[in-house]
Structure formats: structure tokens, C-alpha cells
Structure 1
Amino acid sequence: MKYYDDLRGFIDALDEMGDIMHVRREVDCDFEPSAITRRSYEIQSPAPLFHKVAGVAPGFRLFGAPASLSSLKDKPYARVAMSLGLAPESSGPDIIETLSAARHKPGIPPVRVESSAALCHQNILRGDDANLDRFPIPFAHDKDGGRYANTWGTLIVKTPDGKWVNWSIARVMKVDGKRMVGLMVPSQHIGQIWTEWVKLGQPMPYALVQGPAPAISCVSGIPIPAHADEADYIGTLAGAPVPVVKAVSIDLDVPATAELVIEGHVSIERDCQEGPYGEYGGYLGSGSSAQPTFHVETITHRDDPIWPMSITGRPTDESHTLWAMGLAADALTYLRDAGIPVKTTWIPEDSTVHWLLVVMPQNWREQLPGMSSEALAQRVGEVLFATDSMVFIPKVYVVDDDFDPTNLREVAWVLSTRVHPTGRRAVFDNQRVIRLPQCYDEAEYVAGKGPKVVFDTLQTQRHLHASFEQGYPEEVRRRVLANW
């Protein structure tokens, strides 16, 4: 196990494992890097590293698919695991347990270093020189409203009183060299903080960080409780404080080893159109909305910077690996805190964050005496649908632990044979609905309300599987394997 405190060490480690695809020929700065990255997701190839992008200075690079499924079939979650300092062979449930356990440990606050020691300050651009046109920012999809300057970077903001610092990922579209426009959802933490600045009538300072330590990108993309600092949580995962440096032009601290940092202020009005954008549900976008402008004032970067990108769409990309694991860890934490003895939780990648599996141990009835499976399903829904992160999840399945929830073939078998056609479900009407899940109708999106459901698939008596493992005597299985 090794914690990587910058993006380059992480890329080198993936390269040694054979999980980096070096693209050394020149690629355009329009669609080619994104198309290559998208195909790499869909065929589960090594992560593409683009060494030569047309129209930008030599040495500027792009890095695609930073936390998607690995090309190493025996280590499918290696990129996520290694980002968090875990062994590359870690399973999905191992990662979720780590993320959940860290929620109950004391945070380790970041430590500030001098500007001269900060790699992100090797180059400082101000005024007209601080221009996004210098950098390789491709279109993510051909129906998008513009080039997306942020798909895997960390946005850093804080409340006016300085008591809450938030590190998060949100999509941000380039408007021109000096302006961006970002999706600002009021219920999300960055939206809550922006609202505080709007009430004061003051533009919000922000830093957009590209290519920090991989754990920073990962934690920025998962839910942790409001008013908790992601930097402290990352320190817990790393076992050491995150080195930060004071930004050049605003009162924020930024990761010292980052590849690039954009500094500026966010307007107090929704004064620019953002979108459309092809999102994690797997469909190209078709609409835009008025969102606040991110004004670009200062840019700092390392020599020969690497700009990471996540090109969302059909499975499997970072939305379906890292973000899904973060949501599952959030669900696991809340369910266990509520006294429900959950073995693990899992969001299958191919469900595009529309299914959550709540896996119960064989002895759950002994741990919850007198509770029926129907009552358990009801309780699971009451706990989960009261949390902010479950706004993204329309369907929950409470399942036994007699199969591998990370194996989609086994998931399909279990859900096909154990979900009752009409009964054994707890339906929760008038739940909060946002437009990102793809399963609601327009009236429900407009109202912001719709149904959610918890399916009870728990067996009253566990049945043996008609499988090699459970369908034959042990001595027969041994003989078969010995002569295979």
C-alpha cells in the first residue's frame, strides 16, 4: 500500500502495471482526446495519456479515465484503490469499508507550506496572461454547449466567515479565455456556500484545481457530511496532512502539488448559459440553464502540466466507479449508524448510479429480532431517502449475502429470480427528484417530486444454488478441479 501525494507518481505507478496507454502522436484539441478516452472506458483499456495536443505549448498534456475500471482484469478497481492509498487488488467492498470507516475517525488538518516549496507555483500567470486558451481543453461530447474546463478538477470555496471550506467536483464549461460557467445546484455544498456570498452581495472567491493528489480528486467527488472539511478527511485516509499553499490572489489554500490552479471570483447572479452536457446516465444532454460566471484572474501551474479529464457517459467511467462507491459508502454509514446490521452496500457500475444494493448478512434476523423483511425494507428507505446523497438513487434492493454483488451476472440472476412482480416493496412517494437520474417523466422533474422504491428480495429460507460450488459433493469438486 502506498499513498501518492501527486498525480505524476500515481501515473508512473499505473504505467509500471501496464495500465497507461501513451498517445504520443499529435491529437486535435476538439474531440479526439475525449473520443479516445470514451472508447477506453467502453473497452476497459489502459488510461490514455496524451503527450502532444495541437494548438498548445509543447509539454502540456491530457490524462483521461483517471479513476475508471483498470485494464487489469484481476484488479478492476486498482485506479480507485491506488488513488486512496489502498492496494491495487482491493475489492469494491474493501474500498467502501475504508471510506465509511474514515468518517468516524478524527480528521487530520492540512499543513501550509511556503510558496517557494509549492510545485503548483512554478509558473504564475496574471492579468491577460491568465488565459484558458493556453491550455488543452477539449469538447467532451459533440452535442455539449462548450468545452468543459472541469470534469475531474477540485473546486475550492469557503463560507464568508471562513468556518467551512469545501472541496468538490462540479462541471464547469469554458466560455472564453477569461470566463467559465459552472453548474451551481442549491442543495449541493458548493451551492449552499455560493448562496451565502450572494446574500452578502459579494462575488465568491474560488480556486479550480487540476491534477492534485489522486485522493483529493476522489474525495472531492464523493459525499461527506456538510461542514466537514474534505482536506481533513483526506488527511485521515493518507495518514498525514495534505500540504497546501496560500493561493496567489485570493484567500484560499490550495493543494501544493497540484498540476494547475485557476483563481478568481464567481458572480452573484446566474448570468451565463451552461450546458448541455452528456452526463453519467449515458445520454447526451439537450438543454441549458442560467448559471453563475467563474471569472479567471490568476493561473498557476507546474512545468509541463497534466490536465486530467473524465468523459462521462455510458458505463463505465468515474461516475460509475468512484462516485458510486462514495454514494454506497455514505449509505453504508447512515444505515449502520441507524442500527441496521448491513454487511455491505454496492452500486453496480452498469446501473449508472440508478440501483443501490443493501446486502444483509445471513443472521440479520437474529440481530433484529421480531423484524420482518418487509419492515426492514421500509426502515432502509426511511433512513436512506432522508439523506442528501440518495437524491440520485431511485431504486434500492435489499438482498442476501449469498452472491457477489460486484458481479453483474450474479446481480442479474438474483434480481430476476427474487424480485416479486407486484409485491414485497416499500414505495416512498413525493421524494426529492432532480434531473440527473434518467427514469422520471417531465412533470416529476418540474415538480421536483417523484417516487422511490425499496425492493425486498430477502429469502425466508435460503435455497442452495444449482452451481458447481453448491450442487456437488466436495470430493467430486476436488477431483474435477485436480483434473481440469
Structure 2
Amino acid sequence: MARPKDLRAYLEALQELGDLRTVDRVVDPHLEVGAVIRRSYETRAPAPLFTDIKGAAPGFRLLGAPGALSSVPDRPLARIALSLGLDSGAGAREIIDALAGARTREPVAPRLVESGPCKQNVLLGADASLDRFPTPLLHEGDGGPYVNTWGTIIARTPDGEFTNWSIARIMMIDGKHLTGLVLHPQHIAYVWQQWADRGEDMPFALVQGGDPALPFISGMPLPDGVEEAGYLGALLGEPMELVQCETVDLQVPANAEIVIEGHLSAERTGVEGPMGEFAGYRPHETTMQPVYTIEAITHRDDPVWPTVVEGEPVDEFHTATGLTLAAEALTALRAAGLPVTTAWEPFEMASHALVVSVAADWRDRLPGVRTDELAERITEVIDAQRFAYLVPRLFVLDDDVDASDVGELMWALATRVHPTGRRIVREGKVLPLLSVYTPEERHAWRGPRVTYDALLPSAAEGREPRSSFRHIFPAEVQQRVLETWDA
């Protein structure tokens, strides 16, 4: 199967897998759309494609759960793998290796083209309004309809030296105005702050649809100065094709479904939130955030607007943020020369934990090093990364455990993590959306982070063999059982 290069080719790939369900009946954007998408996550159903949304213009469509776990039994990561240009049967380690491997390659700069599908319809002035688009209220109690949950915000520093592609939630105020989270140390806040310090509104473009890899990489915690567009080119092996915006000096993917252009205010005058979030709860609080003013909208004929309804695992926050953060962790640990095989943010732990798997021969590669010393070295590398404030718990495990297998991981954590000892606790910056912290810690953006040394002792120290079919029986016995199993 060829790599799907835009959202429509991606929908065709999902249809071929049996992982897409078209919803032709009229659905209400007030909570019903959100409830259908939410239930699709919790039942591992095919991705719902809504074709008749009450109040939206005829032909306008909405795709739910675009990057969630697949309904195909033997291909749980199919939506993720297809989005990233891999075979639909790719497993966790293969996906992480692909993401981490691309970080070591030279960026492939995007290419500017004259036009593209996103320019099929151009709305300017008063016509540039979201009133005709599907704008669902996703959770009961949300502060308003959230129109950006899977789209990419494009912004550039005033000096033109750095262009950021990122994801942040954006809430609709009215057809012409939006507000959304602009939080430090995220790069969108870095860019916005430079404009705000000059007393100027920030030009922006908000992209919905396009290459299915785009949202995953827009949520990746890349280091300062690394641009998502070039990394995407390295990952996919070809440059992204961009077109010039209509009203702002920014370039956007030519194959996007919808592009919203305008300026983000230099002042925080919008009341944003609350919104049901990735931890699995809906907070009560609101914050003051900048306001987006829409000046132009371009879109394809019969556009498709992808939508995520965050909540209890597993949804796109857990898949996209978890995978890309783990890949960035693996990149940093490999660069430090540490004997790790992979990293993983377990989806079911709601992006509240990172597992680092250590190679079986790590003692040969680091003679004389104790488990606590290795755990300390790993902790120092992770703490030096800009995403460290997103990782309240770090588990260091032997790689005999497949951390992406939730049953195997739970067994290992229960039997290898000491109840009170073998841990490294330190204080530092934390993301206030992490529900594990107290209200006081969340308001202060500061709290404890912990590393658990769950490495087993060496064979010389009395390491006990695993008592399972795969580990405690000779290979020839396993083979004989497997060959005669059906009989």
C-alpha cells in the first residue's frame, strides 16, 4: 500500500482495512458528535466519518478518532503506522525506531508550490467565518466548541529565523474569534512572546487535515530550533509541499483540507476553558489567553475536519504525544551513549509515565555500574530535555518486558518496583494539566518527579528466571507444543 499523503488517501486506506465507519444520519454537534467519538475510543470501533452535521454547510464532513487505536484486531497501531508512512501492521518498537531514526538524519526542507487543493475555495473578509463549518461542543461543561484538537498552528518569529508547527487546543468564541492555550515552554508561546513583546499581534495559520503525519509531528517535543517541517521531510523521505497564505506571510501544506488565517492578539483577553483533557478528567478552571481573529479561510471542496475528543485513555493525545515523546527520549538517550533499546509512554497511563528499556547486555557495556547508577544516568538525560516537565514518573526496566503490552507491563511493574526503595525523587517544573499533582503544585507549575529503578539483579546476584511459556521451557519443547497446538 502506498503511503497516504493527504487525509483523503488516508481515509481510503482506513476503508480498505475496515477501520472507517461512515455516519450518514444527521448528528447534532452539541455533544452528540463528541459522545459518538468518545464511545468509539472506548469500544475500539472504526473511526467515525460524519457526513451530515446539523448546522454545517452541505458536503462539509467531520472525522473522529483520526489517530486512535485501530479496530482491526491484529493491527492495533494501524492508524498511527499508516499516518507515519509505515505498514499498517507495524508494532510499537518499529514506530518508535522510525521516529527516533529520522531525528538523526538531515532535515528535508519543504518546497513552495504555486497552488494546491487547499485553495479550491477562498473566503475573505466577512465570508471568512466558521459559522458554516462543523464546530462541535465535545464534552458537557466545556467552555465552548473546541475547533482545534488535531490541527496544526503555524507561526514564525518576527525576525523570520524560526517557524513552528504545533498543536494546542483552540476554543471558538464566535465565527470570527477563537482563543486557546499559549503556554510556556511550548514553542508556540516562544514565538507569540516575541510578537507580544513588540506590542504586535502574531500572524498565524491553522491547518486542518493534510498529510496524516502532520498532527503527530506537530505534537512532538522537538528541541529548540528544530523545525517540524524539515523533520517531517526527513521522516517521510520527501519535502512537504507548501503554498503561500492569502493574508499573512506564512506557508501551509498545499494538501490541507482547511486553512484558517489571521492574527493572535498580543494581550491575553480571552477566557479559555475548561475542557475535558488527556488525564481523563474535565477541570473546572479557566485561564486568560490570547484571542485569534480570523481574516481568511481556504478549503477543499467538501472539506473534512478531523476531531479528537480527549478523555480517559486511549485517544490521540496518548498515542501522538506518547509516541513522539518516547521517540525524543530514545534519541537523547542514544546520543548520550546509554545502553537502551527503546522507550515507551504506556497509552493506558494517560501520558503520566515513561518507560525506558535497558539492553540485556548493559552490564557488559558498562562494567562495574550498578542498577541505581544506570537509573541515575538515564534520569539526568531525561531531566535535561525540554519535555521533562511532562514526565512525572520514569520507570527503568530490563528489555525482556514489552512495555507496549499492557498486561506484561503491569506484571513487571507490580513485581519489580520496590514498594518504598530504589527511587530517585527530585523537584522541578511540571505541567499543570497532569492530574496527579495537588492543586497547589499545579498552580505553581512545580512538583516532584520520580524515577523507579526496576532493573533485575544479574544472574550472579541470583536473578530468577521468568516462569512463562516463552521463558522457562526449552525452545524445542515450545516448538513441539506450537506445532501440535491445533490438535
TM-score by length of structure 2 reads 0.97
- 1:450 aligned residue: 447
* CA drift at 1:323: 1.2
Is 1:387 the equivalent of 2:385?
Answer: yes
Deviations 1:206-242 (A, max 9, x none): 0000111111122111111222111111111221111
- 1:359 aligned residue: 357
Q: Which amino acid aligns with 1:47?
A: A
SS at match of 2:413: helix
How far apart, CA to CA, are the structure 1 residues paired with 2:122 and 2:152?
19
How far apart, CA to CA, are the structure 1 residues paired with 2:144 and 2:49?
22
Is 1:31 the equivalent of 2:28?
Answer: no
How far apart, CA to CA, are the structure 1 residues paired with 2:483 and 2:430?
54
Provide the aligned C-alpha RMSD in A.
Answer: 1.1
Is 1:70 the equivalent of 2:77?
Answer: no
Q: Which runs of structure 2 are paired with 1:58-457 in the superposition (5 Å)?
A: 58-115=58-115, 118-428=116-426, 430-457=427-454
Kept after mapping to 2: 8 A contact 1:2/1:86: no
How far apart, CA to CA, are the structure 2 residues paired with 1:447 and 1:8?
44
* CA drift at 1:469: 2.0
SS at match of 1:292: strand
Kept after mapping to 2: 8 A contact 1:181/1:272: yes
Q: Which amino acid aligns with 1:480?
A: V
* CA drift at 1:475: 4.1
How far apart, CA to CA, are the structure 2 residues paired with 1:354 and 1:147?
26
Kept after mapping to 2: 8 A contact 1:4/1:214: yes
Is 1:6 the equivalent of 2:6?
Answer: yes
How far apart, CA to CA, are the structure 2 residues paired with 1:223 and 1:84?
16
Q: Which runs of structure 2 are paired with 1:460-479 in the superposition (5 Å)?
A: 460-461=457-458, 462-479=463-480
SS at match of 1:56: coil
Kept after mapping to 2: 8 A contact 1:392/1:436: no
Q: Which amino acid aligns with 1:391?
A: Y
SS at match of 1:335: helix
Q: Which amino acid aligns with 1:173?
A: M
How far apart, CA to CA, are the structure 1 residues paired with 2:371 and 2:153?
42
Q: Which amino acid aligns with 1:465?
A: R
How far apart, CA to CA, are the structure 2 residues paired with 1:286 and 1:453?
27
Kept after mapping to 2: 8 A contact 1:186/1:195: no
* CA drift at 1:464: 1.6
Q: Structure 2: give runs of 5+ residues left out of the alignment.
A: none
Q: Structure 1: give runs of 5+ residues left out of the alignment.
A: none
Q: Which amino acid aligns with 2:191?
A: I
* CA drift at 1:254: 0.6
Kept after mapping to 2: 8 A contact 1:3/1:238: no
How far apart, CA to CA, are the structure 1 residues paired with 2:112 and 2:315?
33
Deviations 1:334-364 (A, max 9, x none): 1111121111001111100111111001110
Tell me the percent identity: 48
How far apart, CA to CA, are the structure 2 residues paired with 1:472 and 1:383?
38
How far apart, CA to CA, are the structure 1 residues paired with 2:363 and 2:481?
37
How far apart, CA to CA, are the structure 1 residues paired with 2:443 and 2:363?
41
Kept after mapping to 2: 8 A contact 1:143/1:285: no
How far apart, CA to CA, are the structure 1 residues paired with 2:481 and 2:236?
45
Deviations 1:64-98 (A, max 9, x none): 11111011121111111111111111111111111
Kept after mapping to 2: 8 A contact 1:19/1:47: yes
SS at match of 2:172: strand
How far apart, CA to CA, are the structure 2 residues paired with 1:311 and 1:357?
26
SS at match of 2:266: coil
How far apart, CA to CA, are the structure 2 residues paired with 1:258 and 1:330?
26
SS at match of 1:326: helix
Kept after mapping to 2: 8 A contact 1:324/1:347: yes
Kept after mapping to 1: 8 A contact 2:433/2:442: no
* CA drift at 1:450: 1.2
Q: Which amino acid aligns with 1:434?
A: L
* CA drift at 1:470: 2.5
Deviations 1:147-199 (A, max 9, x none): 00100000000000111010010000000011000100021000000000011
How far apart, CA to CA, are the structure 2 residues paired with 1:378 and 1:218?
30
Kept after mapping to 1: 8 A contact 2:432/2:441: no
- 2:17 aligned residue: 17
SS at match of 1:469: helix
* CA drift at 1:370: 2.0
SS at match of 1:340: coil
Q: Which amino acid aligns with 1:49?
A: L
* CA drift at 1:31: 1.2
Which runs of structure 1 show a deviation greater than 6 angstroms over 4 or more consecutive aligned residues? none
Deviates more, 1:460-469 or 1:260-269: 460-469
How far apart, CA to CA, are the structure 1 residues paired with 2:302 and 2:132?
12
* CA drift at 1:382: 1.4
How far apart, CA to CA, are the structure 2 residues paired with 1:126 and 1:59?
20
How far apart, CA to CA, are the structure 2 residues paired with 1:229 and 1:476?
52
How far apart, CA to CA, are the structure 2 residues paired with 1:310 and 1:22?
17
SS at match of 2:29: coil
* CA drift at 1:376: 1.1
Deviates more, 1:430-439 or 1:119-128: 430-439
How far apart, CA to CA, are the structure 2 residues paired with 1:91 and 1:45?
19
TM-score by length of structure 1 reads 0.97
